Amino acid sequence: MKVKFTGKELNLKRIGILTGGGDCAGHNAVIVGLLRRIEQANLALPSDERMELIGLLEGWKSLIRDPEKELDKIIRPLKLIDIEESFTVAGTILKSSRTNLFSKENIEKKMPNQAMENLKKMKIDCLVVLGGDDTLGAAGKLGQQYTFPMFGAPKTMDNDVFGTEMTYGFESSVEESVHFIENCRTTAESHNRCFVIEVMGRHAGWVALWAGIAGGAEVTLLPEEVVNLDEVIKKVEKSIAKKQHCIVVVSEGARLFDTRYPEAVNKRHQEMLNTVIADPKYAIVKARHEMPKKKDSFGNEQLGGIGDYVMAILEKHTRIEYRYQNCGHAIRGGVAHVMDRILGLRYGDAIFDFMKTGSFGVYPGLEADKIVPRNLLEVKGGRFVPQDHQLFKMRNAADYY
């Protein structure tokens, strides 16, 4: 297909596509949505303009391998007849990795240059990158630095990419989180217990917010709020007095301590934590607290475990029986729920439209139910839950009785 790129005619024939970062529902739907349009267009194109979609395996890692020696580990030619049903499944048929081409170490190793050389060796005419703000940001940098045609699609179960009202992967993670919460509630009711349930959400608490409300959680703790455990204790005790059970949902990015918290809150939380760490019963919490924090290749702190802290402190200060459960990666996988199937297919369809009109260096965003092009160079994370959002004030069921 002949299009215009930087004022010159470009014949797009081999289109590469990769998925980067954490897996989620909707990746496969984007691939199918784009491939549908490619194969449809091929029916009317002359033979020298027909396109093929080439899957690049394991995200950016595919472009720093040697295609002359490891081609079978790098590419997967894609045919619609072979993958057309994959859009109903979460995960990614192209596999993924957290590979940062622009880390200090990889820049010193000239990995971006190697990636571009490998694209040329494989005769890739343009690249479609599916991922969150880190993955899309790398696509923007690479496209600008080497004047290479790039497209993106915004994924993240956290729903925190600027430029779109919803990312694919979010709705399925909420649905799976709600099922997890509901399953825990039956046990909580049966044994008069309080469950502390941790869900994913690094800096943005959209998953916890939606799942907490939809799952009827008595308390939901978000990264965007000042967590005050004395207030949490009051809500839990209120719930136990009314119903003899309680569900507390905690986003993995929620914090006990923060520089933006009032000094009195940080001090109080430290006192609470000290009583837990001093108790041999909570040796696991103490060990977790003393472990060094790990970071991924993009410099993001690897989270997980805040629910363990919250559970231990609540149990120590309320004398109610508790259980801690972490949804973890379970809410990433399984089936792709309806919204993510539709959204992924729409994004793939939109990418082809951008391609056809020569609108390069963009990714599709959802705005008032319309797809609009967003600049890859402007992508970033941190689409937080605003405290004036309607759902923010609705998040704690205990406030209503």
Q: Quickly count: other Cβ atoms within 10 Å of residue 335's Cβ.
A: 14
Over 80: is that where the pLDDT of 102 sits?
A: yes
Three-state secondary structure call for residue 126 = strand
Interval 19-78: pLDDT, tens:
999 999 999 999 999 999 999 999 999 999 999 999 999 999 999 999 999 999 999 999
Q: Give pLDDT, residue 289.
A: 83
Task: Give the CB-side neighbour count of residue 328, counting CA atoms within 13 A.
Answer: 6
**For 2-168+336-378, CATH number?**
3.40.50.450
Residue limits of CATH 3.40.50.460 in the chain: 174-331
Query: Known catalytic residues?
Result: 158
358 Cβ contact partners less than 8 Å away, ≥ 6 residues apart: 3, 4, 5
Other CB atoms closer than 10 Å to residue 272's CB: what's the count? 19
Residue 157 pLDDT > 60, yes or no?
Answer: yes
pTM of the model: 0.92
The domain 174-331 having CATH identifier 3.40.50.460: the answer here is: yes
- What pLDDT score does 298 carry? 56
- Which 3 state secondary structure label does DSSP give 294? coil
pLDDT score, position 173: 96
CB contact at 8 A, 39 and 80: yes
Instruction: Read off the pLDDT of residues 279-321 as tens digits, 9 standing for 90 and up.
Output: 999 988 888 888 776 666 555 565 658 999 999 999 998 888 9
Q: pLDDT (tens digit, 9 = 90+) per residue, 121-155?
A: 999 999 999 999 999 999 999 999 999 999 999 99
- Cα distances from 345 to residues 20, 130, 264, 331, 363, in angstroms, run 18, 13, 49, 21, 14
Residue type for position 226: V
pLDDT at 301: 61
Which whole number is the average pLDDT over 263-288?
93
Q: Decide if pLDDT at 391 tops 70.
A: yes
Task: List strands edge to edge, sheet with 194-199.
Answer: 219-221, 246-251, 194-199, 322-326
DSSP state of 96: -
Query: Which residue is listed with tokens 């267009």?
Result: 41
Identity of residue 371: I
* Torsion on CA atoms 49, 79, 118, 61, rounded to nearest 10: 150
Q: What is the pLDDT of residues 199-240, one digit of tens each?
A: 998 889 999 999 999 999 999 999 999 999 999 999 999 999
pLDDT for the residue 350 = 98
Q: Provide mean pLDDT across the span 349-366.
A: 97
**216 and 273 Cβ atoms separated by less than 8 Å:** no
Q: Compute how many other C-beta atoms are within 10 angstroms of the C-beta atom of residue 310.
A: 23
Residue limits of CATH 3.40.50.450 in the chain: 2-168+336-378
- Provide the pairing of β-strand 150-154 with 126-131: parallel
Closest to 30 in 3D by CA, of 317, 257, 347:
347
180-196 pLDDT, tens digit each: 999 999 999 999 999 99
Residue type, 70: E
